[in-house]
Amino acid sequence: MTTQLPWWKGAAIYQIYPRSFMDANGDGIGDLPGITQRLGYVADLGVDAIWISPFFTSPMKDFGYDVSDYRDVDPIFGELADFDALVARAHELGLKVLIDQVYSHTSDEHPWFTQSRSSADSDKADWYVWADAKPDGSPPSNWQSVFGGPAWTWDARRRQYYLHNFLSSQPQLNLHNMAVQDAVLDVMQFWLDRGVDGFRIDALNFCMHNPALTDNPPAPANGKPRTRPFDFQLKLHNQSHADIPRFIERIRALTDRYDGTFTVAEVGGDDADREMKAFTQGETHLNSAYGFDFLYADKLTGELVCKALGNWPDEPGLGWPSWAFENHDAPRALSRWIDNGHRDAFARLKMTLLAALRGNIILYQGEELGLTQVDIPFDQLHDPEAIANWPLTLSRDGARTPMPWTTQSADGGFGSEASWLPLGEENHARAVDRQEADDASLLKHTRAMLALRKANPALHHGAVTSCKVDGDLLDLTRASEGQRLRCLFNLGPAPIALGDAAGTTLFTANGAEAQTLPPYAALILEI
């Protein structure tokens, strides 16, 4: 394999949601020592890095994405010494460590906001986005928040409105202010100095607004149900400001001072493809970005795959993509994409396809086990989005349930029967110990696919030279360093006749042969 590539190019990254991974102290909430205990399992998967969702000090109104201290660990997860031990153990195992950074907003309990709201004359008065009311007392613009309701909240102390694109307890940082940029870059340096290898940057396209506070225009109807006021607008002015790439250049200048640092941005919204390219262009921006191509898709189709890959051709100056089928914000893919009767076969197909994509691939904890969405009753919900939009909800809690490690205990080996969310009977039956004992399990298949991807340059970092769709047949060709691989996927429930596909068989899933692809089968040929 080419040794000149940076470690992250073509990497497989494993996302860990700390609250639900492993509970080391029995309080019902996962923690950093719990992650450290299970890092051997993660390394054995064959991934290159872990991405840990927020573990910073927080009132947990949005479960860590509302940070009140960027430089410390929330007590429910442990302390800084636990994080240092986690990094040391990960590096011993050959795993890189990526952590979340949330720069678009903080908690309203952050000292910066406490000082900012205290007075319009304070040193941090303009560290957040404040604006006067309109003459009639209404908010400064018509902007709506992601979680429902206006994106402005009145504050009697300042006698002004403050902006929040998410919860009212998540006030928007003013990244137009260079002092604020300096402060968050200092935070990034703090974690780099503690040994982290990179960052996933949350909601990056929300980090700067239009200072003119221009109203957003209405969004045309697209046939999809609108469950939030946010869905009724084109988000042209509350996010996606043209100066964001300049801030990204400052991030890159800092991370380039450390060897092997990797940065990936989460970018959602109607203009995500353009923004992802702007945020990753050339050698002065982020290394990668990932959007929501697959995360909220209600069906996996060949057209979806070819369109996503086609947006990121192997061209000089164009950024490097990352892909995720699942994460902590989206319903589990197997619950979105397939019925119960074909779920096991489809899970193997899905993992084979993920491993064949050009770019980095991100596995969400439990995806390698085939975990499905857990139906959380209303009285057990924690997610503010789910509670606000019940019953028309994305049900983020249903994808955040505890990781099942063993079938031998009622808590699934998570560490506490009184876990913060229910385990789910269906997922309990897919526990790690049961799959370790089954050579045909999805866990074993995932390890095989990650090993195959790492061993073959065409899969790991090669170009996409062809992506074709014929009904349920997805025909993908990857090439690199003299190797050409043809990857064939049957995305449907009926067999597909291939005639006699030429090439040397490198991998098969679900009984695939050169002549026929059974339902949800996959075949990788060296040609």
Ordered by start, the domain boundaries in the chain are 12-106+178-450, 463-526
pLDDT at 222: 85
- What is the three-state SS of 135-203? CCCCCCCCCECCCCCECEEEECCCCEEEECCCCCCCCEECCCCHHHHHHHHHHHHHHHHCCCCEEEEEC
Q: Is the pLDDT of residue 311 over 50?
A: yes
Give me the residue label for tokens 């084979």: 352
The answer to whether the predicted template modeling score (pTM) of the entire model surpasses 0.85 is: yes
pLDDT at 2: 44
In whole angstroms, give the CA distance from residue 29 to residue 421: 9
Q: Is the pLDDT of residue 451 over 90?
A: yes
Q: What is the CATH number of domain 463-526?
A: 2.60.40.1180
pLDDT at 35: 99
pLDDT at 158: 96
pLDDT at 250: 98
For 377-391, the pLDDT digits (tens) are 999 999 998 888 888
In whole angstroms, give the CA distance from residue 141 to residue 307: 36
* Average pLDDT over every residue of 14-29: 98
Q: Do 463-526 and 12-106+178-450 have the same topology in CATH? A: no
Q: Where are the beta strands (DSSP E) in 17-55?
A: 49-52
The pLDDT > 90 percentage for the chain reads 94
- In CATH terms, 12-106+178-450 corresponds, of 3.90.930.60, 3.40.50.1000, 3.30.360.10, 3.20.20.80, to 3.20.20.80
pLDDT at 344: 97
pLDDT at 394: 73
* Average pLDDT over every residue of 262-267: 97
Q: Please, which pLDDT band fits residue 3 given cuts at 50, 70 and 90?
A: low
Best CA proximity match to 454, nearest among 74, 49, 176, 119: 49
Q: Is the pLDDT of residue 305 over 90?
A: yes
For 176-217, the pLDDT digits (tens) are 999 999 999 999 999 999 999 999 999 999 999 999 999 999
pLDDT at 224: 84
The pLDDT > 70 percentage for the chain reads 99
pLDDT at 1: 42
For β-strands 130-131 and 262-266, DSSP reports them as unpaired
pLDDT at 227: 84
* Average pLDDT over every residue of 28-41: 98
Catalytic positions, written as ranges = 202, 266
